[in-house]
């Protein structure tokens, strides 16, 4: 089978141990773990197939800003924390690219985002035999034998609309996050989410815009403001956010422990109020915060312009967009300054929402299979420590979820524990689910004792 062609309809025929849905860094790391396992244990191979809707590997391509750097140490790459001897490490990638010495001289833990993308592509190419691109999973169906769900059929379609079914004993869902826009936003060529930035910026530059507006105060919002300020040398860049100023990300060493593998144990075992408390204390390691260097860079730009008198970077702090209207010529955004209630309507060539992401609704993807999955009081899936969804007793097939923040904490949707997480998932798949006493949800006490 080649990686260019979707497998034929294999229901009842070919059965995979793992069918992975999505092939971003999370399932790429899993494919590498499977590859390494199969090399080490040729007598007991795990057969895995990953389905990815993009035509080729791509990691947030729309945000591959030239000078943006990673916000995680390169040591938290696809493998090192699981297997420091792996030849899929970032250091081995550098060796292959003949840049190891230069990188060391650079004295940084934080490579360029474009470089890490190249690293991901390099790794993805080495496990291409496990992946089918141009395969968007639309639903999952149960395969029932004598009242038990023994397998799952994963339904995928390609760009030409051809539908195929792939059967697995386990599925691993790693479909990432979905861009979040305000409820009243109407996306268009002028109004878009920041995840489209690099696909839009050249076209925007060609129109020689006079003003663009960026909504949001997090890392992406600050990156977009800086990038547009550089790429559109004649445009005014308005940055609108409710905070008084961009807030720095806490990447201090004690706080960083919230991203350690051990913190996942603590978070998963904690009662709901403690989980909420930890999440609130440490949101500022990741959410609505900006790297200090970038804050200082933006401040320096604004200050330089206040000296020269040609103010292009217009920071509208303590403000919010209350109303927008689009015409053929422009988008009009009404901005309210919150302390006084004063409003001003700005005519803009583009309005960029850097307003974050939603978690993907796994139940929508699971379709009828969602009915056998347990839900917590908020209707979210109950995800055991081994990332397996808790299901009805007639369910033999495993559903694993990567990216579940409510159950596994802040690190779940980030790269920090990816390498370790996929090792745990692979181990669980091999033993057929959780044999150990699982803590009852939110109690930290094994269910049997609760």
Q: Within positions 113 to 142, which residues make up the interface with ligand FAD, using CB under 6 A? A: 136-137
Choose between 71 and 165: whose C-beta lies nearer to ligand FAD.
71
Residue 322 φ/ψ, nearest 5 degrees: -100, -20
Q: Write out the binding residues for ligand FAD, residues 146-185 only, by CB under 6 A.
A: 174-177
Q: Does 403 contact ligand FAD by CB under 6 A?
A: yes
Establish if 400 lies at the interface with ligand FAD (CB under 6 A): no
Least separation, in Å, of the C-beta of 338 and ligand FAD? 28
Q: Does 19 bind ligand FAD (CB under 6 A)?
A: no
CB of residue 415 to ligand FAD, shortest distance in Å:
3
Q: Shortest gap between Cβ of 25 and ligand FAD (angstroms)?
A: 4
Backbone angles phi, psi at 18, to 5 degrees: -135, 130
Residue 218 interacting with ligand FAD (CB under 6 A) = no
When binding is defined by CB under 6 A, the residue of 6, 21, 239, 298 that contacts ligand FAD is 21
- Phi, psi values for residue 408, rounded to 5°: -120, 5
- Look at residues 272, 273, 215, 269 and name the one whose alpha carbon lies nearest to residue 241: 215
Smallest gap, in angstroms, from Cβ of residue 284 to ligand FAD? 15
Residues 63-82 that bind ligand FAD (CB under 6 A): 63, 70-72
Given candidates 324, 402, 407, 417, which one binds ligand FAD under the rule CB under 6 A? Answer: 402
Please list every residue from 23 through 52 that binds ligand FAD, using CB under 6 A.
Answer: 23-27, 51-52
53 forms part of the interface with ligand FAD (CB under 6 A): yes
**Spatial separation of the C-alpha atoms in residues 40 and 327, rounded to whole Å:** 61
Q: Which stretch binds ligand FAD (CB under 6 A): 36-44, 250-258, 371-379, 412-420?
A: 412-420
| Rg, C-alpha atoms of the chain | 23
With contacts defined by CB under 6 A, how many residues of the chain interact with ligand FAD? 30
- Per-residue binding letters, 367-386, with ligand FAD (x by CB under 6 A): --------------------
- Minimum distance between the CB of residue 71 and ligand FAD, rounded to whole angstroms? 4
Is residue 414 a contact residue for ligand FAD (CB under 6 A)? yes
For binding to ligand FAD (CB under 6 A), which residues are involved?
A: 21-27, 51-54, 59-60, 63, 70-72, 136-137, 174-177, 220, 402-403, 413-416
């Amino acid at each position: 089978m080649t990686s260019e062609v979707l497998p034929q309809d294999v229901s009842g025929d070919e059965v995979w141990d793992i069918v992975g849905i999505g092939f971003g860094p999370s399932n790429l790391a899993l494919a590498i773990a499977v590859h390494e396992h199969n090399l080490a244990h040729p007598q007991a191979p795990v057969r895995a197939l990953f389905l990815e809707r993009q035509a080729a590997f791509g990691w947030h391509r729309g945000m591959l800003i030239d000078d943006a750097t990673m916000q995680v140490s390169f040591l938290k790459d696809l493998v090192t924390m699981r297997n420091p001897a792996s030849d899929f490490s970032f250091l081995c990638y550098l060796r292959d690219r003949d840049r190891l010495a230069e990188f060391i001289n650079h004295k940084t833990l934080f490579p360029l985002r474009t470089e890490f993308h190249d690293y991901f592509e390099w790794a993805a190419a080495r496990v291409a035999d496990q992946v089918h691109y141009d395969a968007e999973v639309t639903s999952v169906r149960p395969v029932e034998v004598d009242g038990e769900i023994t397998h799952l059929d994963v339904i995928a379609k390609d760009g030409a609309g051809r539908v195929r079914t792939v059967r697995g004993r386990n599925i691993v869902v790693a479909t990432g996050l979905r861009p979040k826009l305000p409820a009243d936003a109407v996306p268009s060529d002028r109004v878009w989410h920041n995840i489209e930035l690099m696909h839009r910026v050249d076209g925007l530059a060609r129109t020689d815009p006079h003003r663009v507006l960026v909504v949001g105060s997090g890392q992406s919002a600050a990156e977009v403001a800086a990038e547009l300020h550089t790429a559109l040398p004649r445009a005014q860049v308005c940055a609108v956010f409710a905070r008084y100023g961009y807030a720095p990300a806490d990447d201090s060493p004690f706080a960083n422990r919230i991203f350690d593998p051990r913190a996942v144990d603590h978070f998963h075992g904690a009662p709901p109020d403690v989980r909420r408390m930890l999440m609130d204390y440490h949101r500022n390691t990741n959410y609505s915060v900006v790297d200090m260097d970038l804050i200082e860079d933006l401040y320096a730009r604004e200050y330089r312009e206040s000296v020269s008198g040609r103010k292009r970077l217009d920071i509208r702090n303590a403000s919010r967009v209350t109303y927008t209207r689009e015409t053929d010529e422009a988008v009009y955004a009404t901005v309210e300054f919150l302390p006084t209630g004063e409003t001003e309507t700005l005519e803009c060539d583009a309005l960029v929402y850097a307003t974050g992401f939603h978690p993907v609704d796994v139940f929508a993807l699971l379709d009828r299979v969602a009915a056998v999955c347990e839900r917590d009081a908020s209707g979210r899936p109950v995800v055991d420590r081994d990332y397996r969804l808790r299901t009805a007793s007639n369910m033999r097939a495993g559903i694993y979820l990567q990216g579940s923040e409510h159950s596994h904490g802040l690190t779940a949707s980030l790269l920090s524990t990816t390498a370790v997480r996929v090792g745990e998932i692979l181990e669980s798949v091999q033993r057929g689910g959780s044999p150990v006493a699982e803590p009852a949800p939110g109690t930290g006490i094994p269910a049997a004792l609760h």
